[in-house]
């Protein structure tokens, strides 16, 4: 089955479990330090040769600080909270759940410039355990609202579906347009990056993989 839905995004359980890292379940990342961002933005403006005190720029540091707080809100969110909302599918749920065209907006961690696009997400439930479609979108959102790489975003979504839903398989395709490519550097206007993550049966079973990738690509 295929659904189209409005967007949403999510956090890395895999990263949190790396040995040597303090567990972050209770602590979590610190709150955003808005005055510190403001001071840094003033510095950037001065460093590029602007006058941070000219009228048009006076409120810019505070605006940028609030924008960063929103863009990186996913650092303080756990996708597990959304994916914990599960219910049992009446028919047993042996069919794949597919959600296409989840719009996302993320920030490339190499340039702190946006990359935008759509995520297409599928999973094969175990024992009929499914979650709401909006929770899938929320999961994408939690991971997108962080300093991010498209490859990692794709993997984190797939790993969250496997880890939190105990899915038998997960497949994620992300299509992203990177402003760091579009507006500087190579200036490739229409370049679209496509990344794929396959887990469980979708990694191991060639026929299932082909079928799910066809659904995710809308074929
Ligand atoms: Zn970049």
Q: pLDDT tens for residues 61-78?
A: 999 999 999 999 999 999
Residue 30: which pLDDT band, with cuts at 50, 70 and 90? Answer: confident
Report CA(113)–ligand 1 centroid distance (Å): 6
- Mean pLDDT over each residue of the chain, to the nearest integer: 86
Q: Burial level of 32, CB count in 10 A (0-12/13-18/19+)?
A: middle
- Give catalytic status of residue 120 as yes or no: no
C-alpha 146 to ligand 1 mean position (Å): 13
Model confidence band, residue 16 (pLDDT cutoffs 50, 70, 90): very low
Is 156 a residue of the active site? Answer: no
CA of 112 to the centre of ligand 1 (A): 7
Domains of the chain in start order, with CATH, are 3-18+77-216 (3.30.1130.10), 34-71 (1.10.286.10)
Q: Is 90 exceeded by the pLDDT of residue 170?
A: yes
Distance CA 45, CA 20 (A): 38
Angstrom distance (rounded) from CA 211 to CA 154 = 19
Active-site choice (50, 111, 177, 211): 111
Listed residues: CB within 5 A of ion ligand 1 = 108, 110-111, 180
Which residues make Cβ contacts (< 8 Å) with residue 186, sequence separation at least 6?
A: none
Q: Is the pLDDT of residue 121 over 90?
A: yes
């Amino acid at each position: 089955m295929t659904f189209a839905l409005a967007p949403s995004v999510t956090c890395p359980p895999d990263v949190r479990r790396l040995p040597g890292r303090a567990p972050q379940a209770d602590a979590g990342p610190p709150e955003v330090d808005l005055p510190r961002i403001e001071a840094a933005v003033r510095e950037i403006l001065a460093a590029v040769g602007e006058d941070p005190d000219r009228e048009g720029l006076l409120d810019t540091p505070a605006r940028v600080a609030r924008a960063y707080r929103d863009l990186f809100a996913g650092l303080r969110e756990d996708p597990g909270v959304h994916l914990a909302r599960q219910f049992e599918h009446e028919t047993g749920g042996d069919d794949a759940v597919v959600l296409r065209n989840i719009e996302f907006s993320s920030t490339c961690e190499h340039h702190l410039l946006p990359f935008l696009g759509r995520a297409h997400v599928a999973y094969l439930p175990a024992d009929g355990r499914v979650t709401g479609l909006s929770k899938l979108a929320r999961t994408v959102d939690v991971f997108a609202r962080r300093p991010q790489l498209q490859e990692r975003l794709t993997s984190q979504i797939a790993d969250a579906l496997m880890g939190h839903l105990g899915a038998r398989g997960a497949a994620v395709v992300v299509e992203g347009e990177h402003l760091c490519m579009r507006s500087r550097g190579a200036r490739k206007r229409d370049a679209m990056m496509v990344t794929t993550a396959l887990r469980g049966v979708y990694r191991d079973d060639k026929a299932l993989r082909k079928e799910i990738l066809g659904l995710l690509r809308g074929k």
